[in-house]
Amino acid sequence: MIRRPIPIHEHRTVTGTIRLEGVYKIFGEQPRGRALELARAGATKGEVQALTDHVVGLADVNFSVNEGELFVVMGLSGSGKSTAIRTVNKLHSVTDGHVWVGDTDIQALTGAALQKFRRERIGMVFQHFALFPHWNVLDNVGYGLEVQGVDRHQREQRALEALDLVGLKAYAASMPGQLSGGMQQRVGLARALAADPEILLMDEAFSALDPLIRRQMQDEMIAIQRKLRKTILFITHDLNEALRLGDRVCIMRGGRVVQIGTPEEILTEPATGYVAEFVQDVDQGRVITVSDVMVEPRPVEPGSTLRSAVRAIGERTGSFLLDGAGHPVGVLTSADGIRALDDGETELSGAVRSDFDRASPTQTLNEVYSAAGRGLPIAVVDADGVLVGNLDPQDIMAELGRVESLIDGFEREVFL
């Protein structure tokens, strides 16, 4: 199922809506000089740079993020994504054009009013989120509230609620150094959420995480957004992430907006050759790969009884048995195990089979589709044959079902 976009009100000012109107950002000695003139006349970033030695950060950028919408800006490195997001809280002043949040003209904000706006209306999460190393998780999450002058009791209450949202309530008393990278990033998200801002700005918030954790974070983000319906401006260079998260996606190139559309529109009706190429480049072998869908391996514990091994499988289809070097040598499915137990079997060896399939993390789901049809878990192995993931056929089917029309449209329109 593809989520439907929020209805568009491009020309209406709505509280909680972000709007960039004709925004230019030129970097250099004389930003309002010839460089701006050239950019206005349609010169490319490269041309402006060659002629004036000024860098075009943004050129004629227009987009609006509707209330409760998760809007993704995607583009290659240097395309202007971070510059765009920074105009929203005035970390950058614009060279020309207007930035609105609701009916607040961001360019007009200064001093205490700007500070208040940033603290109360905006939450930010970055790629390398800096937590205070000597403060525990709860205090880190409550930091923004402390700055706002919220009293300790209320602060802790709200920090705990935010931690609960990101699944880290149990870690309130831990120190940041005791958490994994993914958990720290979640604490960052909790900090942004604790102040209950109307707007979240997220710049490559998940980009430093390894694929498995990243994918979990994306799922959690979708779940949190379903609950909170924040207005979110989310930056990524990863098409897969953009398609997965975005109600709408905006593709940028050389400081300009190339296309804005729903994920389906981007894939099935690429506005220019560039979008098609970009989509194709980023996409091949990447729209949905095995590593996007696999879960952590959780192999059968050595020395398990059949009964304890079946119990450990839980909701999954099955788990692998490993040799001493971490290579999968057999698979125990829940169904096989239960059947064997019913037959009075107690030994693991009585229910384990060795006719399972292997896949590499970089293969696409299409490539492993027929193997998934057997209904057995697929062993995801690295170049040395070591088990790195468990690919559940049910997850493959669910994932393909969800994006089926995207992939179909994508292959039809872009590859053929």
Ligand X SMILES: Nc1ncnc2c1ncn2[C@@H]1O[C@H](COP(=O)(O)OP(=O)(O)OP(=O)(O)O)[C@@H](O)[C@H]1O
Least distance to ligand X, CB of residue 221, Å? 19
For position 79 contacting Mg ion by CB under 5 A, the verdict is: no
Least distance to Mg ion, CB of residue 26, Å? 17
Among Mg ion, ligand X, none, partner that 85 touches (CB below 5 to 8 angstroms by kind): none
CB distance 2 to 405 below 8 Å: yes
Least distance to ligand X, CB of residue 179, Å? 25
Least distance to ligand X, CB of residue 23, Å? 12
Least distance to Mg ion, CB of residue 81, Å? 5
Contact region for ligand X (CB under 6 A) — 70-78, 307-315, 381-389, 405-413? Answer: 70-78
Among Mg ion, ligand X, none, partner that 55 touches (CB below 5 to 8 angstroms by kind): ligand X
Q: Using the structure block, give the residue that is written with the tokens 């994932």.
A: 399
Q: Which is nearer to Mg ion, 82 or 333 (CB)?
A: 82
Least distance to Mg ion, CB of residue 238, Å? 12
Query: Using CB atoms within 10 A of its CB, is residue 387 exposed (0-12), middle (13-18) or buried (19+)?
Result: buried
Size of interface with ligand X, in residues (CB under 6 A): 12
Of 16, 31, 57, 389, the one binding ligand X (CB under 6 A) is 57
DSSP strands (E only) in 303-361? 318-322, 328-333, 358-359
Q: Using the structure block, give the residue that is written with the tokens 């930010």.
A: 124
Query: Which of positions 21-40 make contact with ligand X (CB under 6 A)?
Result: 27
Rounded CA separation 311/308 (Å): 5
Rg over CA atoms, the chain: 25
Q: Which is nearer to Mg ion, 73 or 145 (CB)?
A: 73
Q: Which is nearer to Mg ion, 83 or 268 (CB)?
A: 83
Among ligand X, Mg ion, none, partner that 274 touches (CB below 5 to 8 angstroms by kind): none
| Torsion, Cα of 157, 163, 167, 170 (10° steps) | -70
Among Mg ion, ligand X, none, partner that 78 touches (CB below 5 to 8 angstroms by kind): ligand X
Which DSSP helix (H) or strand (E) runs through 368?
Answer: helix 365-372
Q: Which is nearer to ligand X, 56 or 221 (CB)?
A: 56
Least distance to ligand X, CB of residue 156, Å? 35
CB distance 13 to 100 below 8 Å: yes
Of 82, 87, 185, 334, the one binding Mg ion (CB under 5 A) is 82
Query: Which of positions 335-364 make contact with ligand X (CB under 6 A)?
Result: none
Triad 383, 387, 389: Cα angle to 5°: 110
Q: Which two tokens stand for residue 345?
A: 């079997």
Binding mask 24-63 for Mg ion (x = CB under 5 A): ----------------------------------------
Of 35, 55, 239, 276, the one binding ligand X (CB under 6 A) is 55
Query: Which of positions 71-90 make contact with ligand X (CB under 6 A)?
Result: 75, 77-83
Among Mg ion, ligand X, none, partner that 75 touches (CB below 5 to 8 angstroms by kind): ligand X
Q: Using the structure block, give the residue that is written with the tokens 């009100």.
A: 9
With residues binned 3-state (H G I as helix, E B as strand, rest as coil), the percentages for the chain, rounded to 5, are 45, 20, 35
> Between the CA of residue 413 and those of 3, 116, 339, what are the distances in Å?
21, 47, 47
Among Mg ion, ligand X, none, partner that 254 touches (CB below 5 to 8 angstroms by kind): none
Query: Which of positions 231-250 make contact with ligand X (CB under 6 A)?
Result: 237
- Helix, strand, or coil here: 256? strand
One DSSP character per residue, 77-132 reads TTSSHHHHHHHHTTSS--SEEEEEETTEEGGG--HHHHHHHHHHHEEEEESS----
Least distance to ligand X, CB of residue 31, Å? 10
- Sign of the CA dihedral with 162 first, then 164, 166, and 168 last: positive
Rounded CA separation 236/75 (Å): 7
Q: Which two tokens stand for residue 208?
A: 């430093």
Least distance to Mg ion, CB of residue 251, Å? 15
Binding positions for Mg ion, rule: CB under 5 A = 82
Binding positions for ligand X, rule: CB under 6 A = 27, 55, 57, 75, 77-83, 237
